Amino acid sequence: MSDEELINDPLALLREFTAARIAIGRVGNSIPLKQSMEFKLAHAHARDAVYSVLDIEGLTQKFHPFRLPVLHLHSQATSRQKFLKRPDLGRKLSEESKEQFTEPITSFGVAIIIADGLSATAVNENAPGLLKLLIPMLDAAKISVAPLCLVEQARVAIGDDIGHGLNAKLSVLLIGERPGLSSADSMGAYLTYDPKPGLTDESRNCISNIRKGGLNYKQAAGKIFYLINEAFKRKISGVNLKDNAGLLS
């Protein structure tokens, strides 16, 4: 059918408020060709994001101005295929990586971990911009920051091993989220007070959709900094720690 037979959706005016695929109209009983092609393209971008690779060299260079050591770590998932089929391996640090924590180390306030997760593209694009705002906030508050950790084939829980290994009071894990059809570049931040192996998701606070088209870096850094301070003050994180910033007392 031709575009001349396109039947517009009466709710099409709502599309200007969201990148979600809504009110796309129809041609007969089918999706219009243009929207069908756009869907396939978005799906291809999402698949590409899942198989994207953490830019170790590029990120290390971008982190240089922070004047912090950078550790290169790896999970027990030895390949992308293992990572996708064995989520449990992505949650554990490899034995070679654990050896980097065997030396006696000073305790730190915050450990910042950058992990590829399900979209290395997300952290490649968004982690430097966020840390450029967050690390100066921590420095100004005299909160010590552990060596930055870049972790390949990693899932969220790996932050527990790393935070514990670095003897940090709190871990902040930046990770690529599961790619959506309009957000293959979305990064999440997970905060855990007193990180240690064996914790579950209820122990973490999550800030999601950090990207240029979502929660911007300034807002995300401010929210992370707020939660860090509240976690230190109350000595808790996760479901017991609420984001009350901006609420009337």
Binding region for adenosylcob(III)alamin: 156, 177, 206
Tokens of 81: 């295929």
Tokens of 175: 């990770």
CA distance 197 to 207: 21
CA distance 6 to 8: 6
Instruction: Give me the sheet containing 168-176, strands edge to edge.
Output: 70-74, 148-152, 108-115, 168-176, 187-193, 204-210
- Which residues participate in the annotated binding site? 156, 177, 206
Tokens of 218: 């300034």
What SS3 state is found at 33?
helix
Tokens of 147: 């060596």
CA distance 115 to 232: 24
Q: Which residue has the tokens 């290169």?
A: 72
215 burial (CB, 10 Å; 0-12 / 13-18 / 19+) is buried
